[in-house]
Amino acid sequence: MERPVFASFMADSTGAQAVLTLNEMIVQLTDVCALLDYNMNRRKISLINLTTIEENIREILRKIITSSDIRMLSMSADAALDELRKARNKLNAASDILEMKKTPKRQEQLYQYYDEICILIDSAIKHLKSSC
The pLDDT tens digits for 78-124 are 999 999 999 999 999 999 999 999 999 999 999 999 999 999 999 99
In a domain, 64, yes or no: yes
What is the reported pLDDT for 69?
82
Categorise residue 82: left if φ over 0, alpha if ψ from -120 to 50, beta otherwise.
alpha
The pTM is what? 0.85
Residue 8, pLDDT > 70, answer: no
In a domain, 20, yes or no: yes
In a domain, 122, yes or no: yes
In a domain, 1, yes or no: no
What total number of domains does the chain contain? Answer: 1
In a domain, 5, yes or no: no
67 pLDDT band, cuts 50/70/90, is: confident
Mean pLDDT over all residues of the chain? 88
CA neighbours within 13 Å on the CB side: how many for 37? 13
In a domain, 3, yes or no: no
Distance separating alpha carbons of residues 1 and 24, to the nearest angstrom: 33
Residue 3, pLDDT > 70, answer: no
Q: Domain limits at 15? A: 11-129
CA-CA-CA-CA torsion for 100, 102, 105, 111, nearest 10 degrees? 90
Contacts of 101 (CB under 8 A, 6+ apart): none
What is the reported pLDDT for 63?
92
* Residue closest to 84 by CA, chosen among 34, 121, 47, 42: 121
In a domain, 4, yes or no: no
